[in-house]
Amino acid sequence: MIDYTNSKLLLDASNIPVGEVVWRSPSNLAILKYWGKHGIQLPNNPSLSMTLQNAYTDTVIKYSPKEDYARGIDLDFHFHAEPNEAFKAKIISYFESLLPIFPFLEQLKLDIHSGNSFPHSSGIASSASSMSALALCLCTMEDQFFGTLEEDTAFDQKASYVARLGSGSASRSIFPGMALWGQTGQVEGSSDYYAVPLGDRMHEGFKNYHDDILIVQSGEKSVSSRAGHGLMDENPYAPTRYEQTKKTLHNLLAVIDKGDFEGFGKIAEAEAMTLHALMMTSNPPYLLMDPNTLAIIKKVREYRAETKQPLYFSLDAGPNVHLLYPEEIIHDVRLFIEEELLSFCEEGMMISDWVGEGPEEIDLEVEGS
């Protein structure tokens, strides 16, 4: 087990620095889903995702000496230039939980500005992008102060570990291409504590693989992911589900190696349906799909039967539909979306995305910062 507790990471109290760090970190779409957890943010099965490019969070952390030294976290938080008390409270409790790892956080006044590239309330889960952006900022601060994370692999591993503590899926957003989180004998170096990149194991064909996100409903989900994970503890199908993920991972790795879009799409669809079946068989049971989600799924299946093109769908814990397809068929798919699918979306909303390059440290002025 890896332990990042480090009481030595304290600043010289007579020389507290002033500065800022900025990261842009993307969201990701799990093909093999993380659903069910234990202990402190540890997954009940491995998950594998594609990192996105276009759906990201920009986060700036400005730091300076605390005016009056007091214990605890001292921070201000703005989201899209507006103070946001709910997010602020969430970040304070996240940072408090990280004090054994980053004790210097208690010595600083923090001013955080954050914003998403995707529309405010598009219903796109932003915990992966927002938590990974925060984790990356904290690791950069540690490196600026102590020079302890100069080596890229060590930096990424710690960022993924810290991101996981904020939100499990965020651990995977640290890496470009595709990433796996959860210990498995099938991938060397894999861990329940942080994600690892698939790197060259991902076939070239997936480098510009698309994920167009159809926004069926933009509101808040009626049941949060956190609550959904919790309900897996008593779900009678959970043990079968966890057992099944071993075989699914084996098959998924094989199609990713080969660049087999059909095989990949079939697994993505089966996983999406399984995730929602687990919600429907929870106690109490619940349903996050909307009639328009089903209408889109039906249309996608008809399109595939007619054209024989590898267009598939995935779902997250919500009603929005991710359309998965290779670059070669973009022209036909976009026409199909426009003519047959956008009418099922809220205000015709769609986010066009694809397999991404991973987070980047940037020099930018976030709106209102």
Query: Where on the chain is the footprint of ligand DP6 (CB under 6 A)?
Result: 30, 33-35, 41, 47, 125, 127, 167-169, 225-226, 229, 275, 316-317
Distances (CA, A) of 34 to 46, 133, 163, 226: 7, 20, 15, 11
In whole angstroms, the minimum distance from the beta carbon of 47 to ligand DP6 comes to 4
> Quick one: how far is CA 43 from the chain centroid?
14
Looking at beta carbons only, is 22 or 128 nearer to ligand DP6?
128
Looking at beta carbons only, is 87 or 146 nearer to ligand DP6?
87
In whole angstroms, the minimum distance from the beta carbon of 43 to ligand DP6 comes to 8
In whole angstroms, the minimum distance from the beta carbon of 369 to ligand DP6 comes to 26
In whole angstroms, the minimum distance from the beta carbon of 39 to ligand DP6 comes to 12
Looking at beta carbons only, is 265 or 318 nearer to ligand DP6?
318
Q: Are 23 and 179 in contact (CB under 8 A)?
A: no
In whole angstroms, the minimum distance from the beta carbon of 90 to ligand DP6 comes to 11
Looking at beta carbons only, is 268 or 366 nearer to ligand DP6?
268
Give CA–CA dist 291/328, Å, rounded.
30
- Residue of 2, 130, 165, 166 lying closest to 58 (CA atoms): 130
Looking at beta carbons only, is 120 or 226 nearer to ligand DP6?
226
Spatial neighbors of 94 by CB under 8 A, at least 6 apart, are 131, 134, 165, 166
In whole angstroms, the minimum distance from the beta carbon of 246 to ligand DP6 comes to 16
- Residue of 131, 119, 54, 33 lying closest to 356 (CA atoms): 54
Looking at beta carbons only, is 30 or 196 nearer to ligand DP6?
30
In whole angstroms, the minimum distance from the beta carbon of 359 to ligand DP6 comes to 17
For residue 315, report the phi and psi dihedrals to the nearest 5 degrees: -130, 150
Residue 272: count of CB within 10 angstroms of its CB: 23
Looking at beta carbons only, is 61 or 231 nearer to ligand DP6?
231
